[in-house]
Amino acid sequence: MFPRLPTVTKALLIANIVLFLLQQPFLLGNGTFEPFMLQPLRGGFDPFSPGGNFQPWQLLTYGFLHGSFSHLFFNMLALFMFGASLEQTWGEKRFLTYYLVCVAGAGVCQLLVGAMMADPVTVLGASGGVFGLLLAYGMLFPNQRVMLLFPPIPMKARTFVIVFGVMELVFGATGWQPGVAHFAHLGGMLFGWLLIRYWRGQPPFNRRPPGGPRKKNHLRSVR
């Protein structure tokens, strides 16, 4: 399976799996990675005491750590499903840039939401980047058929994105599914959407000269 995957997608899968194994008690243990999980802003920023408080690097490192096998499995399944096609379309550099921007953007949104909560929690997982990939796949391949796992219902990628986006918004606003960083997921989708719009020169990043000719913009053609 791995030899057929593009380079960056394969590297991300391996990195997440290896780090999850290192988190286990029989190796380094979860506590070793606490300075790399996304800590809430309530503790302030103390560069001389990285454990238990927010550090800038956590906006990326939290996205490579997971809290359980199921958490890792479903994130890596989505990375496998959507990452390969996007990397083959964009190339290695652009794909990696997009993924990391989504991870960091999801972290920023989670910090902002956590700052308004009475008891914010530590966050870890690749879900923000994965939801960004889902958004990109729906934009670049809107009519491609994808299959839900539970229940197994086929639908167009564009519909798939809308369904998951609405679900995350409802769960986040109502608190029906506690223990999940729904606004981080939405943040990954938001920053992914903004980055694609920026690459395409579309509002709010319109780079076309005023009155200049407008070229036809294909969903598959991300400049």
The confidence band for 180, taking pLDDT boundaries of 50, 70 and 90, is confident
pLDDT grade, residue 168 (50/70/90)? confident
**In this structure, what DSSP letter does residue 155 have?**
E
Which secondary-structure segment (H or E) carries 146?
A: strand 145-147
Per-residue pLDDT at 40 exceeds 90: no
pLDDT confidence of residue 178: 61
Place of tokens 């799996």: 17
Alpha carbon distance 37, 39 (integer Å) = 6
- Residue 28's identity, in one-letter code, is L
Residue 43 banded pLDDT, cuts 50, 70, 90: low
R_g (Cα) of the chain, nearest Å: 18
Residue-wise pLDDT for 184-217, tens only, equals 888 999 999 999 999 988 888 776 545 544 554 4
Q: Encode pLDDT of 101-115 as tens digits.
A: 999 999 999 998 888
- Identity of the amino acid at 64: F
Q: What is the pLDDT of residue 222?
A: 44
Q: Rounded CA gap, 190 and 112, in Å?
A: 14
Average pLDDT for 133-161: 83
Calpha distance 158→210 (Å, rounded): 31
Tell me which of 116 and 102 has the higher pLDDT. 102
Q: Is 154 helix (H, G, I), strand (E, B) or coil?
A: strand
CA atoms within 13 A on the CB side of 131: 29
